[in-house]
Amino acid sequence: MKLRHCLLPLLTLSLVMSGCAVAADDEGDDGDVGEETVGTTSEAASVACRISRSTIVGSVSGERREVVERAFTWWDAKVSYSQSRYYKGYRTDCSGFISMAWETGTSYTTASFSTGGGESFPLSSYSSLQPGDALVRRRNGSGHIVMFLGWNDSAKTSACVIEQASTALDMEFRTRSASSLKSGGYKAIRADKLR
């Protein structure tokens, strides 16, 4: 019985120390964990966008069009999700994917994107979103980011996105409900080069 009383404080201290180390590590592997679900369980299944890839690409021009086309190169190549692997110079997680599409030259993290870094800036609202912009969430030491491709409906209740989703789902071209994105704490951002 006395042995258990001695080990319990040691175990508690060990857990607290490891929790601090994880929370403080915003510079490296920042827990850019892909999410299989946002909001309710019914949203876990991929829902196809009503707008086609060709319509999305045709709706933009110049640098913005190049960003969207680069994003679809990972979709076409079926790049798998990993926080430790790289594909053509970029880490193959969610923030590495956005870094690649925006051609930042380095793989930023959700910590960078969520604080106005990562060669990006916050938008005033979801209504400012254009294809090639992004939605980023950062909470409790982990985060996720998706590329916005357009509104799936005229009421703007769901967004078409492309994302490096998770180890289970990899690249996804699907919809996300606006309400789940907002309640999940996702902020709209834009690449500096798309001003």
Q: Is residue 3 part of a domain?
A: no
Q: Is residue 189 part of a domain?
A: yes
pLDDT range class, residue 152, cuts 50, 70, 90:
very high
Strands (E) across the chain are located at 86-87, 90-91, 120-122, 134-139, 142-151, 158-164, 171-177, 187-191
Q: Is residue 124 part of a domain?
A: yes
pLDDT for residue 10 is more than 80: no
**Per-residue pLDDT tens digits for 127-144:** 999 999 999 999 999 999
The dihedrals phi and psi of 177, each to the nearest 5 degrees, come to: -70, 140
Element spanning 191, H or E: strand 187-191
Collect all residues with Cβ–Cβ distance below 8 Å to 62 and sequence separation of at least 6. none
Q: How many domains is the chain partitioned into structurally?
A: 1
Q: Is residue 91 part of a domain?
A: yes
Instruction: Give the domain extent around 178.
Output: 26-194
Q: Is residue 40 part of a domain?
A: yes
Q: Is residue 142 part of a domain?
A: yes
Q: What is the 3-state secondary structure (H, E, C) of 164-181?
A: ECCCCCCEEEEEEEHHHH
**Single-letter residue type at 83:** Q
Looking at the DSSP bridge assignments, the partners of residue 59 are none
Q: Is residue 13 part of a domain?
A: no
Q: Is residue 80 part of a domain?
A: yes
Please report, for the domain that includes residue 84, its CATH number.
3.90.1720.10
**Per-residue pLDDT tens digits for 36-89:** 333 333 344 558 899 999 999 999 999 999 999 999 999 999 999 999 999 999
